[in-house]
Amino acid sequence: MSFASMYRAKIGGTVDTLAMTALGAGAILSSPAFVESGGKLSFLMAAAGAAHLGRRFLQPWEEANALASKINVRSADMLSSPDGLLLGYRTDTGDPVYIPDEDLMRHGLIGGQSGVGKTVLGKLLMYQQIQRGGGLAFVDGKMNAEDIETIYQYCCLCGREQDLLILNPGNPGMSHSYNPILRGDPDEIAARVLSLIPSTENNPGADHYRQSANQGLTTLVAALQEAGLAFNFIDLTILLMNHKAIEELESRLKRSKGGSAATKNLSLFLEQYKGGGKPGSGLENMVDIKRMKETFGGVGGRMFQFGTGKFGEVLNTYSPEIDLFEAIRQNKIIYVALPTMGKNEAAGNMGKMFLGDLRTAISWVQALPEDQKPRIPFLAFMDELGSYAVASLARPFEQARSARIALFPAFQTLANLEVVSPDFAQMVLGNTWTKIFFKLGTQETAEPVADLIGKEMQIARSMTHTNNRSENNPLLAVAPEGGEGEGMGVSEGEREEERHRVSPEDLKALDKGECVVLYGGDAVFNIRVPMIYVDPEVAREIGPLRIHHRRERQVEGADYFKNSDRYLGGNSVPSGHRKQTAQEMLADE
């Protein structure tokens, strides 16, 4: 124990004064003048005073060792009131640390290398959210099968298994249906689809094609909505890749909604692509689908992967069970499994599409009256965000608070955010109130995080020892002896210098389950996160995951894939040839 820690004990107050008085009185009574009358009384008074003061002096040492830690960080004295969600326990005192709901909605982030506690903290937050009846979206960038079971068990323990919605495009048999492009106005839906394409702001040529694709998608979606047709990814894909399908949509609109703006916009849009047929063939006004595909670039291909295979089994619906806007309003629990290891590109695009849908849902919730917004803040925990982050996600960090929605992304290094863009990384860092850092694996991440946590003026003490010895033997002297001398000195010094509150080396030395929290830009905590788990016996009683489906509503859909035979070149096939299937036609495109 150092003198500095004794100083932090801050002796004072009535009890401390009485203890010091008792210790002083005991010392006086033990003097020879009071040896006969003092006796036992002096010993008891001195012992009582010394015991109390000893405990007070040892208190900082005792607190500093409440929970094991390799770093010496004294946590701020706040956030101990049980309001909001528990983060963990201070290493210096063992006291709990909570995030109040008001600050939860100011968002947070969780950083740290793999396997050090990010998901453990996420599960702690999510269990509390489920337990208190709040809504939740868990986007799992690792897609660990145990995580699905764990979330299901949490829901069962809290009596909320009916509130669980699972989006698992890698396993349609264990997934609810979802169609992220069904709801919204044409501009919103087009923005979601275009979120699949990398940003083109710094590339004027590519940006021209992106804007053209945006115009085309907006026009097609408006036309489908005007026709009263529900649609999905495969429907849009066929419209972009087959001239008969898109000409059929135009004819239908002209018959039923000839004077509408959507009909006129579709005809004007298609006019620039007509003339694809050979002169004299009667098809001179056919849409040149090849030119149109050049305008849309890779949009059709990206939507195609959502409309086929296992992804298509989940997403090709006109009556989806998962409606993100309604799920937020009804405090549902949504688990999104992204198979990033086996289907990296498709899973990443699925995550981007979900985040685009989340952005739209947030804007709709913002527009609701206050009494219709979530009473308990809706929590969106996005694990391994680097696998599916999009630049458009930066805006919700600025505005989601007014919708009572809290965003908590988790990532391994700052490079995971900067790969989207440096501006995106700065917007996320700048718009998160609670920043939680587990063990960091690289100096490139640890140094900027230490700078982010900040510096403070600290006293640097130094002690210098000097020894010297001199000897003098003159060549000519009356006396035969020479002169000798020795000296020794000790000097102490103090100076103020600016040091990191938590150094990069500290951030790299954190133990598993231990983290540093920067709260509100100035308060720092060193905490340990408790691991919660479901007892194996309880897990066996709960049993395996069961999906609760609801009956689909009957709606009129575009059904371009179902009726694809009409768009495959007529009924006659040359001798020795086989008619292409819809999948083959789309794959060739």
Rounded to whole angstroms, how far apart are CA atoms 65 and 92?
A: 6
Q: Does position 123 have pLDDT exceeding 60, yes or no? A: yes
Rounded to whole angstroms, how far apart are CA atoms 583 and 589?
A: 10
Mean pLDDT computed over 38-46: 61
Q: Does position 515 have pLDDT exceeding 70, yes or no? A: yes
Quick one: pLDDT band at residue 45, thresholds 50, 70, 90? low
Mean pLDDT computed over 52-80: 72
Q: Does position 539 have pLDDT exceeding 60, yes or no? A: yes
Contacts of 168 (CB under 8 A, 6+ apart): 148, 174, 175, 314, 335, 337
Among 413, 412, 431, 418, which Cα is nearest to 391's?
418
Q: Does position 42 have pLDDT exceeding 70, yes or no? A: no
Among 223, 187, 215, which Cα is nearest to 296's?
215
| 520 Ramachandran zone, left/alpha/beta (phi>0; psi -120 to 50) | left
Mean pLDDT computed over 522-533: 93
Rounded to whole angstroms, how far apart are CA atoms 305 and 282?
A: 35
Q: For the ranges 5-19, 232-246, 572-586, which has the lowest average pLDDT?
A: 572-586
Quick one: pLDDT band at residue 259, thresholds 50, 70, 90? confident
User: Do residues 527 and 515 make contact, with C-beta atoms less than 8 angstroms apart?
Assistant: yes
Residue 364 φ then ψ, to 5°: -70, -40
Kindly report, residue by residue over 318-336, the tens digit of the pLDDT: 999 999 999 999 999 999 9
Give me the pLDDT at residue 420, please.
87
For residue 101, count CB atoms less than 10 angstroms from its CB and return exposed for 0-12, middle for 13-18, buried for 19 or more: middle
Could you tell me which residue, 358 or 498, shows the higher pLDDT? 358
Could you tell me which residue, 396 or 53, shows the higher pLDDT? 396
Give me the pLDDT at residue 545, please.
92
Rounded to whole angstroms, how far apart are CA atoms 308 and 579?
A: 20
Q: Does position 582 have pLDDT exceeding 50, yes or no? A: no
Rounded to whole angstroms, how far apart are CA atoms 309 and 303?
A: 12
**H or E element at residue 88:** strand 85-90
Q: For the ranges 13-22, 77-86, 329-338, 376-385, which has the lowest average pLDDT?
A: 13-22
Contacts of 468 (CB under 8 A, 6+ apart): 486, 487, 488
Q: Is 176 helix (H, G, I), strand (E, B) or coil?
A: coil
pLDDT over 90 percentage in the chain: 47
Q: Give the best-scoring range by mean pLDDT among 144-153, 216-225, 294-303, 578-587.
A: 216-225
All structural domains of the chain with their residue ranges: 3-65, 72-170+331-459+497-566, 179-316
Average pLDDT score over the chain: 82
Three-state secondary structure string covering 513-581: CEEEEEECCCEEEEEECCCCCCCHHHHHHHCCCCCCCCCCCCCCECCCCCCHHHHCCCCCCCCCCCCCC
Quick one: pLDDT band at residue 5, thresholds 50, 70, 90? very low
Give me the pLDDT at residue 105, please.
96
Q: Is 307 helix (H, G, I), strand (E, B) or coil?
A: helix
pTM metric for this prediction: 0.78
Could you tell me which residue, 139 or 24, shows the higher pLDDT? 139
Give me the pLDDT at residue 170, please.
86
Mean pLDDT computed over 45-61: 61
Give me the pLDDT at residue 432, please.
96
In order, the DSSP letters of 358-421 are HHHHHHHHHTS-GGGS-SSPEEEEEETGGGT--GGGHHHHHHGGGGTEEEEEEESSTHHHHTT-
Three-state secondary structure string covering 327-368: HHHCCCEEEEECCCCCCHHHHHHHHHHHHHHHHHHHHHHHCC
Q: Which residues pair with 525 in a beta bridge?
A: 517
Residue 334 φ then ψ, to 5°: -115, 125
Residue whose entry in the numeric block shows the structure tokens 């000195």: 489
CA distances from 95 to 63, 87, 132, 383, 525 (A): 10, 11, 22, 27, 11
Q: Does position 542 have pLDDT exceeding 80, yes or no? A: yes
- Give the CATH H-level superfamily of domain 72-170+331-459+497-566: P-loop containing nucleotide triphosphate hydrolases (3.40.50.300)
Q: Does position 122 have pLDDT exceeding 80, yes or no? A: yes
Kindly report, residue by residue over 445-460, the tens digit of the pLDDT: 999 999 999 987 666 5
Quick one: pLDDT band at residue 426, thresholds 50, 70, 90? very high
